[in-house]
Amino acid sequence: MSAAMETPQKYVLGLDLGSASLGWALVGLNGADQPTSLIRSGVRIFEPGVDGTSLEIEQGKDQSKAVERRTARLQRRQLRRRVARQRELFQYLQKAGLLPVDADGKGASSEQRHHLLNELDQSLTATYLASSSEGFANGPLYFLRKRALDHPLEPYELGRVLFHLSQRRGFKSNRKETKKTKDNEDQGEVKAGIHSLEIKMQEAGARTLGEYFASLDPHNERVRGRWTARRMFEDEFAKIWDAQQPHHASVLTPELRNRISNLLFFQRPIALQKDLIGPCELEPGQKRAPWPSLLAQRFRLLQKVNDTKVLNPSAPKDDPLTPEQRQILYTLLDERGDQTFKTIKKALWLEDKTLNHEKGKRTGLLGNQTAKSMRNVFGDRWQQFPQEEQDKIVADWSDAESDEAMAHIARNDWKLDEEAIQRLFAERPAKDYCSLSLKAIAKLMPVMMEGKSFKDAEKEVYGSRNSGLPRLKKLPPVKKALPTLRNPAVERAMTELRKVINAIVRQYGKPYEIRIELARELKKPRQERADATENNRKRERANRDTAAKIAAAYNVSDPNYKPSRGDLEKAKLFTECGGICPYTGRSILFSQLFSGESEFDIEHIIPRSRYPDDSFQNKTLCYIPENRQNKRNLTPYEAYAHDEERWAQILVRVGKWSNTSKLRRFKIQSTEELGDFSARQLNDTRYASVLAGRLLSLLYGGDCVSDGERNRRVIFASSGAVTSTLRRSWGFESILQGIVPSEPGSNRGKPRTDHRHHAIDAITIALTRQSVIQAMANAAELEPWQPGARAWRHVPKPWISPDFERDMQRQIEEMVVSHRPSHKISGELHKGTNYGKPYMLNGKSTIHSRCALSALSAKDIESDDVIVDPAVRDAVRSKLEEIGGNPKLFDKPDNFPYLVSASGRNIPIKKVRIRETKNPLRVAEGVRERYVASGGIHHVELFVTRDGTRREAWDSKVVQRTEAYERKRKHLPVVARTLEDDPEAEFLFSLSNDDTMEINDGDVRKIVRIKKSGENKQIFYVPVNDAHLDADQSKLAIVKSKYPNTLKSLKPRKVVVDLLGKVHPAND
Q: Give the DSSP letter of residue 116.
A: H
- Percent of the chain beyond pLDDT 90? 41
Percent with pLDDT over 70 in the chain: 87
DSSP reduced 3-state for 81: helix
Distance between CA atoms of residues 58 and 630, nearest Å? 44
What domain range includes position 923? 830-931
Q: Which of 447, 466, 442, 446 is nearest to 457 (CA)?
A: 447
Closest CA to 509 of 77, 13, 112: 13
What is d(CA 868, CA 264) in angstroms, rounded to the nearest whole number? 40
Question: Which is more confidently placed, 735 or 371?
Answer: 371
**779: pLDDT strictly greater than 70:** no
Q: For residue 544, is it within any domain?
A: no
What average pLDDT score do residues 1055-1068 get? Answer: 93
Q: Does 131 map to a domain? A: yes
Q: Are residues 485 and 401 part of one domain?
A: no
Q: Is the pLDDT of residue 1022 over 70?
A: yes
* Averaged pLDDT, 887-902: 86
Phi, psi (5° rounding) for residue 484?
-90, -5
Structure confidence at residue 5 as a pLDDT band (50, 70, 90): very low
- pLDDT-derived band at 388, boundaries 50, 70, 90: very high
- pLDDT digit string, tens, across residues 121-145: 888 888 887 776 676 767 788 999 9
In a shared domain, residues 219 and 297 = no
The pLDDT assigned to 559 comes to 72
Ramachandran sector of residue 854 (left: φ over 0; alpha: ψ -120 to 50; beta: rest): alpha
Read off the pLDDT of each residue in 331-355 and give the average, rounded to a whole number. 92
Say yes or no to pLDDT of 1061 above 90. Answer: yes
CA distances in angstroms from 746 to 420, 738, 740, 743, 970, listed in the order given: 66, 13, 11, 5, 53
Of 233-247, 425-439, 796-810, 826-840, which has the strongest mean pLDDT?
233-247
Report DSSP letters for 337-354, one per residue: -SEEHHHHHHHTT-TTSE
Higher-confidence position of 490 and 1056: 1056
The pLDDT assigned to 867 comes to 92
Strands ordered across the beta sheet of 1019-1023? 1040-1042, 1019-1023, 1004-1013, 996-1001, 1053-1057, 1063-1065
Residue 1028 in this model has a pLDDT that exceeds 80: yes
For 338-364, what is the mean pLDDT? 88
Q: What is the pLDDT of residue 673?
A: 67
Q: What is the structure's pLDDT at 6?
A: 45
Rounded Cα gap, residues 1034 and 1028, in angstroms: 9
What is the 3-state secondary structure of 224-254?
CCCCCEHHHHHHHHHHHHHHHHHHCCCCCCH
User: Domain with 41 in it: what CATH number?
Assistant: 3.30.420.10
717, pLDDT greater than 80: yes
Give the angle 358-361-367 at the CA atoms, nearest 5°.
65
Q: What's residue 52's pLDDT?
A: 67
Pair 925, 942 in one domain: no
Among left, alpha and beta (phi > 0; psi -120 to 50; other), residue 702 is left
The H or E element spanning position 96 is none
Instruction: Check whether residue 301 and residue 449 sit in a common domain.
Output: yes
As a whole number, the mean pLDDT across the chain is: 85
Residue 857 sits at the vertex; the CA angle it makes with 854 and 859, to the nearest 5 degrees, is: 145
Of 664, 680, 696, which marks where a domain is finished?
Answer: 680
Q: Is 466 part of a structural domain of the chain?
A: no
Residues 435 and 476 both lie in one domain? no
Query: Strand 839-841 and strand 844-852: pairing?
Result: antiparallel
Most confident of 15-24, 191-200, 499-508, 889-898: 499-508
* Distance separating alpha carbons of residues 490 and 519, to the nearest angstrom: 11
How many structural domains does the chain have? 6
The candidate with the shortest Cα–Cα distance to 43, out of 779, 953, 814, is: 814
- Same domain (yes/no): 791, 834: no
Summarised one tens digit per residue, pLDDT across range 426-448 is 888 988 899 899 999 999 999 99
Q: Is 534 inside any structural domain?
A: no
895 inside domain: yes
More confident call, 554 vs 45: 45
Residue 3 has pLDDT above 70, yes or no: no
Mean pLDDT value of segment 918-927:
83
In a domain, 221, yes or no: yes
pLDDT of residue 399: 85
Q: According to the model, what pLDDT value does residue 175 have?
A: 62
Specify the pLDDT at position 561.
78
pLDDT digits (tens, 9 = 90+) for 613-661: 778 888 999 998 998 888 888 889 889 988 888 998 998 899 888 887 7
Whether 408 shows a pLDDT value over 80: the answer reads yes
Among the ranges 63-77, 377-391, 538-552, 701-715, which has the highest mean pLDDT value? 377-391
pLDDT over threshold 50, residue 787: no
Together in a domain, 780 and 804: yes
Q: Are residues 1012 and 941 in the same domain?
A: yes
pLDDT of the residue at 497:
95
In degrees, to the nearest 5, what angle opens at C-alpha 797 toward C-alphas 791 and 802? Answer: 145
Q: Which of 110-124, 378-392, 966-980 has the lowest mean pLDDT?
A: 110-124
Task: Note the pLDDT tens digit of each residue in 298-318.
Answer: 999 999 999 999 887 666 678
Mean pLDDT of 554-563: 76
Structural domain ending residue among the three candidates 680, 706, 741: 680
Is residue 974 within 8 A of residue 960, CB to CB? The reply is no
Question: Is there a contact between 539 and 734 (Cβ–Cβ < 8 Å)?
Answer: no
User: Looking at residues 510-532, what average pLDDT do you find?
Assistant: 74
Instruction: Confirm if 290 and 438 have CB atoms less than 8 A apart.
Output: no
Q: Which of 277-286, 922-931, 1052-1061 has the lowest mean pLDDT?
A: 922-931
Q: What CA–CA distance (Å, rounded) separates 816 from 145?
A: 72
- Tell whether 620 is covered by a domain: yes
Domain's final residue, options 931, 958, 976: 931
Q: Of 923 and 27, which is predicted with more confidence? A: 27
In a domain, 1034, yes or no: yes
Mean pLDDT of 176-187: 48
pLDDT band at 2 (very low <50, low <70, confident <90, very high): very low
Beta strands in 263-321 (DSSP E): 309-311, 319-320
What pLDDT is attached to residue 583? 93
Residues 106 and 155 occupy one common structural domain:
yes
pLDDT at 522 over 70: no
Domain match, 810 and 940 both: no
Specify whether 44 is located in the same domain as 118: no
pLDDT band (50, 70, 90) for residue 181 = very low
CA distances, 460 to each of 308, 457, 468 (Å): 21, 5, 15
* 3-class SS of residue 1012: strand
Average pLDDT over residues 406-426: 89
In this prediction, residue 135 carries a pLDDT of: 65
Does the pLDDT of residue 237 top 90, yes or no?
yes
Distance CA 835, CA 202 (A): 44
How many Å apart are CA 222 and CA 985, to the nearest integer? 62
Residue 508 has pLDDT above 90, yes or no: yes
Q: How distant, in Å, are the alpha carbons of 67, 293, 424 from that of 175?
A: 22, 17, 12
Same domain, 332 and 478: no
Write down the pLDDT at residue 54.
Answer: 64
Interval 373-382 mean pLDDT: 92
| pLDDT of the residue at 179 | 43
Residue 14, beta-bridge partner list: 25, 515
User: Quick one: pLDDT at residue 58?
Assistant: 63
Type of residue numbered 1008 = V
- What's residue 674's pLDDT? 65
pLDDT at 245 exceeding the cut of 50:
yes
